[in-house]
Structure 1
Amino acid sequence: MPGRIHVSHHSDVPVYRQIVAHLSFMIEAGDLAPGETLPSARLLADNLRINRNTVARAYAELASLGLVESRGRSGTKVLDPGPERRRAPEHTEARRVLSDAVDRCLALGVSPDAVRSLTADLLARAEPVGIDVAFVECNADRADAFARDLQEHLGTPVRPLVLGDLDPEQHPADLVLTTFFHLAEVRALWRGTGSEVIALVVAPHVRTLVQIASVPKDRTVGILYSTEDQAASIRDSLAQSGIDNVAVLSSPDDPALASTDLVVVPSETPELRAGVEGRAEIIEFGNVLDAASLRTVTQVVADLRSEPAPTAGSATTPRP
């Protein structure tokens, strides 16, 4: 099967999209039957002389289209595209039109490899240019919450990813977003993948700061987050603002809660609020994405959509 796929490194259509176009047509045309196993990402990459991450990304796209399914050690299996896609009259007519076009190209003296390259290029160009964006955080709730905010602002899907539970080879992306707190770690993970990594400023909601600042100095404020590191980070940022009557709580069962007048919990984790409800006054700590950061990311996404994709395996020049 690898010998039937051809990609062009000179096209401005991303190589992974060329692979998706090839395999989609082969599956829907019946050239690849349901249950067949696609070659491993490493094997296909070696045959095509491209980066393995490029093939992994193409397979992930095919999976999102419902054409293949990863089954762990059993490999990536072809799924039944469904009768409406497999036997539709439009597909039969399209096959006839393409067959006539291929015959005409060959009669003109165009080589089979060139015909395959041209076909993949035209198919890929016909698809809207999508940007694969991921947001990385150390906490699943925060990753989900900020990914939703970014998706709404950018108008493009944003995948939430959690540090410590991911492999960049399994999560390729054009653009990886994170907070400044995790920038060094995220850059190290994605180094050499060709992904662009940008840090965003995440600031506490003004309403939250006003509520906390209004707490009398003789009252103790508890900080309860999913991890003690996050709670400590919030405590330190409040201390820099002159609010020092703050204690970190390890859990809703922390004995220190008994001497705490007010508890700050993250707005994205209602289960923490439920754990202390009725035992202390509660303030939800809401975070917002910095407006300047959002403008920067919006411009980067626009640039990525308009720029030709780099050749597979090539390095990209980091933005200042």
Structure 2
Amino acid sequence: MSVSRHSDVPVYRQIVSQLTLMIEMGMLADGERLPGSRLLASNLGINRNTVAHAYGELRERGLVEPRGRNGMVVVGGQGARTSSEARNRAREVLAAAARECLRLGLTAPEIRDLIGGLAAWEAEKALEVSFVECNRERAEYFAAELAAALAVPVKPLVLGEFEAATERPDLVLTTFFHLAEVRGLLRRPSTEVVAIVAAPHIQTLVQIAQVPKDRTVGLLYSTNDQAVSIRDSLAQAGVTNIAVLSGTGDAELRGVDLVVVPSEMPELARALAEKRVRVIEYGNVLDAASVRMAGEVMRELQLARSLRE
């Protein structure tokens, strides 16, 4: 391990990054003891408090923990290796770039400083994007879908679970159902709030339409508000034999031919597995036009930021 005092990346952050990489790649296994802060500081020629700061951040990430006289011990290696897909892909990209830089004649310290500086520059320019929903599963599901579609990180926020005063995203995406509420919560000049359309899969609508009008389609969701919003949207499409269910008991399911559950909550489908009722998942897809619009808004915000700088 080595650090550079001339890099734009703080020394403690360099230590965190290098040790995280070693843990994720299995070079440091669970149970292995890290060097004491005094020993590592002496070896790197830096202040002991800097090492302590780095170890503290690794502890907050769940990668290490103090074990009395044994000092700081690796504990999160297995979890880090199973949840680092994006980092693995990033390492492949950076390794290819580093090889090209070496071919051009740059030294390893020069490449490290260059990557650190570029990363800090890009992070400063990057827009902060959030997706707001009333349900955690839907918030996380759609945030992941939007992140893939827009090629930027998208932070999921759940109504009622975040402090509006501490959230300062550049762009907030939400559904039309929550647009007014989200604008009221996050109304500030620096934040753009945009509504997108999350439409049901056509297969979902076909199966719902096949249920006879004298029979009932049940909606089972984790929150009543979400089920009611789905019921109302289906009613606008002419499907009126819909009932919001509060449970999976026999009384609740009497007269119900089909139960619709959200695709992001498969446990609800499992809870109905032994019932004599057909279950389908209400799969949603992001409206392509909405995603394109969100991308255009992002580009406009990025351009405006660049002009200010």
TM-score higher than 0.5: yes
Once the two structures are TM-superposed, the CA of residue 223 in structure 1 deviates from its matched residue by: 0.9
1:219 partnered with 2:215: yes
Number of aligned residue pairs: give it. 225
Superposed, 1:237-252 pairs within 5 Å as 237-252=233-248
Unaligned runs of 5+ in 1: 1-20, 38-62, 71-79, 81-88, 98-120, 313-320
Contact 2:211 / 2:257 at 8 angstroms: preserved in 1? no
Structure 1 match to 2:296: 299
1:157 partnered with 2:153: yes
Distance 2:236 2:122 in 1: 53
Structure 1 match to 2:10: 24
Superposed, 1:1-320 pairs within 5 Å as 24=10, 33-35=50-52, 125=121, 129-192=125-188, 194-253=190-249, 255-279=251-275, 280-308=277-305
Distance 2:224 2:119 in 1: 50
Larger RCO (CA within 8 A; separation ≥ 6) = 1
CA RMSD of aligned residues (A): 3.7
Once the two structures are TM-superposed, the CA of residue 213 in structure 1 deviates from its matched residue by: 0.8
Once the two structures are TM-superposed, the CA of residue 309 in structure 1 deviates from its matched residue by: 5.8
Instruction: Call closer, same or farther: CA 1:254–1:178 in 2, change over 3 Å.
Output: farther
SS at match of 2:260: strand
Distance 1:126 1:281 in 2: 50
Instruction: Call closer, same or farther: CA 1:26–1:236 in 2, change over 3 Å.
Output: closer
Distance 1:164 1:272 in 2: 23
Once the two structures are TM-superposed, the CA of residue 248 in structure 1 deviates from its matched residue by: 0.9
Query: Identity, % of aligned pairs?
Result: 49
Contact 1:27 / 1:67 at 8 angstroms: preserved in 2? no
Instruction: Call closer, same or farther: CA 1:206–1:23 in 2, change over 3 Å.
Output: same
Distance 1:181 1:152 in 2: 23
Once the two structures are TM-superposed, the CA of residue 127 in structure 1 deviates from its matched residue by: 5.7
Distance 2:273 2:152 in 1: 37
Distance 2:177 2:8 in 1: 41
Once the two structures are TM-superposed, the CA of residue 33 in structure 1 deviates from its matched residue by: 2.5
SS at match of 2:222: coil
Instruction: Call closer, same or farther: CA 1:26–1:283 in 2, change over 3 Å.
Output: closer
Instruction: Call closer, same or farther: CA 1:149–1:219 in 2, change over 3 Å.
Output: same
Instruction: Call closer, same or farther: CA 1:34–1:142 in 2, change over 3 Å.
Output: same
One-letter amino acid of the structure 1 residue matched with residue 253 of structure 2: L
Distance 1:236 1:122 in 2: 49
TM-score by length of 1: 0.60
Contact 1:225 / 1:231 at 8 angstroms: preserved in 2? yes
Query: For 1:135-194, what per-residue CA distance to the aligned partner results, in whole angstroms no more than 9, with x for missing partners?
Result: 110001111111111111111111111110001343332211111111111112112262
Once the two structures are TM-superposed, the CA of residue 27 in structure 1 deviates from its matched residue by: 6.0
Instruction: Call closer, same or farther: CA 1:155–1:309 in 2, change over 3 Å.
Output: same
One-letter amino acid of the structure 2 residue matched with residue 194 of structure 1: S
SS at match of 2:164: coil
SS at match of 1:172: coil
SS at match of 2:157: strand
Instruction: Call closer, same or farther: CA 1:33–1:263 in 2, change over 3 Å.
Output: same
Once the two structures are TM-superposed, the CA of residue 67 in structure 1 deviates from its matched residue by: 8.2
SS at match of 1:262: strand
One-letter amino acid of the structure 2 residue matched with residue 135 of structure 1: F
TM-score by length of 2: 0.62
Once the two structures are TM-superposed, the CA of residue 68 in structure 1 deviates from its matched residue by: 10
Distance 1:296 1:25 in 2: 41
Unaligned runs of 5+ in 2: 1-6, 15-44, 62-71, 73-106
Distance 2:278 2:118 in 1: 62
One-letter amino acid of the structure 1 residue matched with residue 290 of structure 2: S
Distance 1:148 1:123 in 2: 22
Distance 1:223 1:123 in 2: 46
One-letter amino acid of the structure 2 residue matched with residue 296 of structure 1: M
